[in-house]
Amino acid sequence: MSKYESTYDVIVLGAGPAGYVAAIRAAQLGLKTACVDNWMSPDGKTSLGGTYINAGCISSMALLESAKIYHQIRNDIKDHGISVDNIKLDVPKMIARKDKKVDMLSKQIKQVFADNGIDFIHGSGKLLTARQVSATPPNGGKPIILNAKNVILATGSSPIELGCAPIDNEVIIDSTAALSLQSVPKKLGIIGAGIIGLEIGGIWNKLGSDVTLLEAQEIFLHVTDQQISLEAYKIYTNQGLDLRMGTRVISAKRSKDKVIVEYQDQEGNHTLKLDKLIVASGRKPNSENIAAPEAELVLDENGYIHVDEKCCTTVPGVYAIGDLTLLGPMLAHKGLEEGVFVAEQIANMETPINYDIIPSVIYTDPEIAWVGHTEQAVQALGIKYNTGVFPLKANGRAEAIDKTEGLVKIITNAETDIIMGVHIIGINASELIAEAVLAMEFSASSEDLARTIHAHPTISEVLHEAALAIDNRSLHLP
């Protein structure tokens, strides 16, 4: 007799941010819930949290923190009157610390599942019909057949592979393996200077790698506000990142323990000899084999699942959330909110998501964060606008802690003064953007932000000063 229920109210396929949150919220609402996920840790154990915990945000942030400490001790600690001799870098121990954080957070999710009575099934989930799924064990054993009144598809995404750079995860590696290297590559190449490439490149650059990023786009970080991207380019190149824009990789071939990369730009063909090459050219939805043909689930040519504004697929009672759809950006917190949204929708609650005010973050050092319209987008819309800019170098707290790189930019409607966009590059940008999101959610004006008292001295004052700058009345800008 199966230890699982004959029928569940909700079955979630995937235990990343979208999936595990959907399962938790559904259980909180009194719905009998199960979650199916197939992620395995390097030691062969189940590990909840998807890419977000195992090979994405949490892993990269844990390594970046270690890298920042190492870099500061080597380069900046003497300015504080502190001398340190015989500095040693133990990369395997650093990776072990990261893995420990991953394991701890994964276990926390398991505990929350247990506390809420959620059945977790380790295996690959597949939609068989609108009311039935299978869960195939990792060892390829006999599938478990489960019935559900509602199914939520949340299997996330995975790195895109390139035919010109076949991954062997030895010298040509993907972004997941890049977070588990056991030594610092002397010369490191990265295909892609987008969010993933920059985050990984920044880590290994601080640990001593000579990092070259090859990006097909002509414009650096084209998704961000242009003023922010220009500032970022200046900061990251000053840190030592070699950013080569408008490049097309022709081939990447292994040569003994090295990799030879051929690429092309406006000046012609070039060759790079590297110790490691990381392929960080974007992500694709994990929708392959997610449904049997009989389920009649509709996907587009790129594997994204068709959904409406309520995350409903073409199959009644089946929802798709997170990286599986084109509804909103591929962000962990977007998936998380959709998990709550769908669970509450199943329980006959309406809590809509404002997709226009979802913050984006790049976890580099310094961080980049933004919400709303960029200046170039506002110009394209033909809206009259004002901008207020304030540099971190004029902030007392930033100066005191030697974190003066970056700026804050606020864009407002010239007629109504309503905030249309906020863009930040600097320390704690990922935390500062929350105030901007809250302000925009309540349709705040720059005057509202300017009249809000901020503690002094704090980094958060840069938002206050940028709001004052809309009317050319910043208080601390020489």
CA dihedral sign of residues 317, 318, 322, 328 = negative
Distance between CA 423 and CA 369 in Å, rounded? 6
The helix/strand/coil state of 376 is helix
**Interatomic CA distance for residues 85 and 161, integer angstroms:** 43
As a whole number of angstroms, the distance between CA 305 and CA 338 comes to: 15
Q: How far is Cα of residue 339 from the mean position of the Cα atoms in its chain?
A: 17
Neighbouring residues of 434: CB distance < 8 A, sequence distance ≥ 6: 359
CA 388 to chain centre: 27
For residue 460, which of 417, 438, 431 has the smallest C-alpha distance?
431
Q: Which of 270, 333, 456, 476 is catalytic?
A: 456
Residue 371 CA to its chain's centroid (Å): 15
Distance in angstroms between the alpha carbons of the first and the last residue of the chain = 76
Give backbone dihedrals phi and psi of 189, rounded to 5 degrees, phi first. -110, 150
Residues 6+ positions from 268 with CB-CB distance below 8 Å: none
Query: Is 306 known to be catalytic?
Result: no
CB neighbour list of residue 179: distance below 8 Å, 6 or more residues apart:
55, 59, 60, 63, 95, 98, 200
Q: Length of the chain, please?
A: 478
Tell me, what DSSP letter sits at residue 118?
P
Which H or E element spans position 320? Answer: strand 318-320
CA distance 317 to 296: 13
Q: Cα separation of 228 and 35, whole Å?
A: 40
Q: What token pair was written down for 372?
A: 């709303």
Classify residue 126 by its DSSP letter: E
Active-site residues, by number, are 456
